[in-house]
Structure 1
Amino acid sequence: MTLSTAFTKLFGVRHPIALAPMGGSAGGALTAAVSRGGGLGLLGSGNGAPDWLAREVPLITQGTDRPWGVGLLTWQIDARAVERALEYEPAAVMFSFGDPSAYAERVRRAGAALIVQVTDLEEARQAVDLGADVIVAQGTESGGHGARHGRSTLPFVPLVVDLAHPVPVLAAGGIADGRGLAAALALGAEGAVVGTRLQATAEALVHPSTAAALVEGRGEDTERSRVLDIVRGSAWPSRYTARTLGHRHLDRWRGREAELAADPQARAAYEEDVGRGEVPPLPVWAGEAVDLVADLPPAADLVAAMAEQAEAALARAGRTAPPEGG
């Protein structure tokens, strides 16, 4: 069977899989590979820096003629960043972590689909009121940043699906293989946004040590915290924490965020450790499903394999369903 959903029909893609627009890893090569493989690649543009877009977007257009999009961190951008992204004529613009209402109409006028990621029901209602074309419901299992007081993917996604209907919803958080994609579809989502698993692919913009850590990592080793944002001097809003693999500065400052923020020597010590190569340049963003990462395949192959596995899982579930009236 073919996994045809409202999402695949909207973008004309083969598989209901989107790349999480991860800053620092979802560059042009990975975006192109996911789109080439039949999903929707989303470039992790972050703040829409012009030099970064100028370097990475040509890698997409050289690597695929399929639809692709751009992801922006809403708290970090202004109207100029949105305009810059739209100049490249993406099929979609995804906004995460903040209120994108100031930019929605501009995206619509450009003919791009408006994708809004939400981490709680209040954000989901705002996205519906804004007229989002697609809503991404992110559970707390996700790697990287997410809601400090959010909900797990399994209970959160159906709530957003019911609230947003008929707007298509994508599930995000803890989805790293076709079984997770099948589960998302069973919850009423029209597809899934995949981050950690696609970060561990041949085309991802990650340091080799990060790739190795993802292959070796375990879900119980991940932790959601603000410590690594504070020690790096990152201005992420406090309502969004980051799930990462273990880190020596996380161990040093766990539960002491206020003391860390007030310590002028803490960031210098962190930068010295980075400079000596004792800690990676960036934290290893990783979700709870990192156990399912065992290799670093080409992303296009991974997308196709996930879709095939999801089809098999859904077929298996159909065969084992109880008889009608049972």
Structure 2
Amino acid sequence: MAFSTAFTKLFGVRYPIALAPMGGSAGGALAAAVSLGGGLGLVGGGNGDREWLARELPLVAEGIDGPEGTGGRPWGIGFLTWAIDAGAVERALEYAPRAVMLSFGDPSPFAGRVREAGAALIIQVTDLEEARRAVDLGADVIVAQGTESGGHGARRGRSTLPFVPVVVDLAAPVPVLAAGGIADGRGLAAALALGAAGALIGTRFQATTEALVAPSVARAIVEGRGEGTERSNVLDIARGSPWPAKYTARTLGHPFLDRWRGREAELADDAQAKQAYQDGVARGELPALPVWAGEAVDLINDLPSAADLVGTLAAQAEDALARAGKG
């Protein structure tokens, strides 16, 4: 089946699949593999750490050339808008990404520069106010993120199923990608049925051979269950991570979560408790980082290459749409 959506046409990709630019874990090799597989790989630029960008951006820029004769493939980079400065965006643009994705915060200080450079502007939104702002800023693609997603998202957001079609209607004709709770081709098919032009997928791509995650994290994702995920800001407070209060993070279970659930304000004022967290990490008694994982983690049971996974997701979506058509 030849997938043809506004997203595939915009980027000239085979499949309507984009890699979520997960900070730290979506490095250059993972982004390149997704692009080589026929999707759009997005490097997780996070807060724009210069050393990290200098290491990972050449990997994707060189890696997308693929086998001899195939030519380059489109790729992009994503940033946490609240955590970056203009210099990070400028550094990324030197590598000529086809797209820059801005998430969590006001994208307006950076939107103009991205478009001047000729890159497509992708803006992730978690509520309708953010969606309207993305339209006003002239986003080329809007990502509608539901609360099922792993990692950070809106504290008071909406589920993917009802949120995506509302954003699709609001943003038309701007293409919308669905995000949150999508980990197999059935989820991709559902996104297309909701009117989205494709899906932005995160947790599923963390469990691939190219992801920059520790083996223990990949194993936890493969073994994880959706009911074992939880959205909270306890671990951000414990780590001293200055995420805006509007955004919490969905993770797998964690000992510190159990200890401080519902006592976030108390934890924020307890320097001794936060030091105990750091000491626990230093001693190896606590994981160094939370395991970011979405509600669809149950659907993940292997560690394929990301390029192969893109094709598998597309084939699964084709089967799901064919079955639906026979109904």
Regarding TM over 0.5, the answer is yes
| 1:239 maps onto 2:249 in alignment | no
Given residue 224 of structure 1, which amino acid in structure 2 is its aligned partner?
R
Structure 1 stretches of 4+ moved >4 Å: none
Identity over aligned pairs, percent: 78
Shift of 1:82: 1.2
Equivalent pair of 1:210/1:280 in contact (CA under 8 Å):
no
C-alpha separation in 2, matches of 1:270 and 1:203? 30
Kindly report which structure 2 residues correspond to 1:171-320, keeping only aligned pairs within 5 A, or say none. 171-320=178-327
> What is the number of equivalent residue pairs in this alignment?
320
C-alpha separation in 1, matches of 2:268 and 2:211? 32
Equivalent pair of 1:247/1:283 in contact (CA under 8 Å):
yes
C-alpha separation in 1, matches of 2:279 and 2:175? 46
Match of 2:69 in 1: none
Q: Please give the secondary structure, in 1, of the residue aligned with 2:45.
A: strand
Shift of 1:271: 1.3
Q: Please give the secondary structure, in 2, of the residue aligned with 1:146.
A: strand
Kindly report which structure 2 residues correspond to 1:101-140, keeping only aligned pairs within 5 A, or say none. 101-140=108-147
RMSD: 0.7
Match of 2:22 in 1: 22
Question: TM-score scaled to structure 2, two decimals?
Answer: 0.97
C-alpha separation in 2, matches of 1:253 and 1:312? 44
Shift of 1:276: 1.9
C-alpha separation in 2, matches of 1:14 and 1:274? 43
Shift of 1:266: 1.5
C-alpha separation in 2, matches of 1:229 and 1:173? 20
Equivalent pair of 1:148/1:239 in contact (CA under 8 Å):
yes
- Cα deviation per residue 1:293-320 (whole Å; 9 max; x = unaligned)? 1011100000100001101111111111
1:94 alignment partner, one of 96, 101, 105: 101
C-alpha separation in 2, matches of 1:137 and 1:80? 27
Equivalent pair of 1:6/1:190 in contact (CA under 8 Å):
yes
Shift of 1:32: 0.6
Match of 1:77 in 2: 84
C-alpha separation in 1, matches of 2:276 and 2:4? 51
Unaligned runs of 5+ residues in structure 1 are 321-326
Given residue 59 of structure 2, which amino acid in structure 1 is its aligned partner?
L
| 1:57 maps onto 2:39 in alignment | no
| 1:43 maps onto 2:43 in alignment | yes
Match of 1:11 in 2: 11
C-alpha separation in 1, matches of 2:75 and 2:211? 16
Shift of 1:189: 0.1
Unaligned runs of 5+ residues in structure 2 are 65-71
Equivalent pair of 1:2/1:311 in contact (CA under 8 Å):
no
Farther off after superposition, 268-277 or 72-81: 268-277
Q: Please give the secondary structure, in 1, of the residue aligned with 2:319.
A: helix
- Cα deviation per residue 1:136-175 (whole Å; 9 max; x = unaligned)? 0000000000000000000000000000000000000000
C-alpha separation in 1, matches of 2:142 and 2:318? 23
Shift of 1:231: 0.2
Shift of 1:270: 1.0
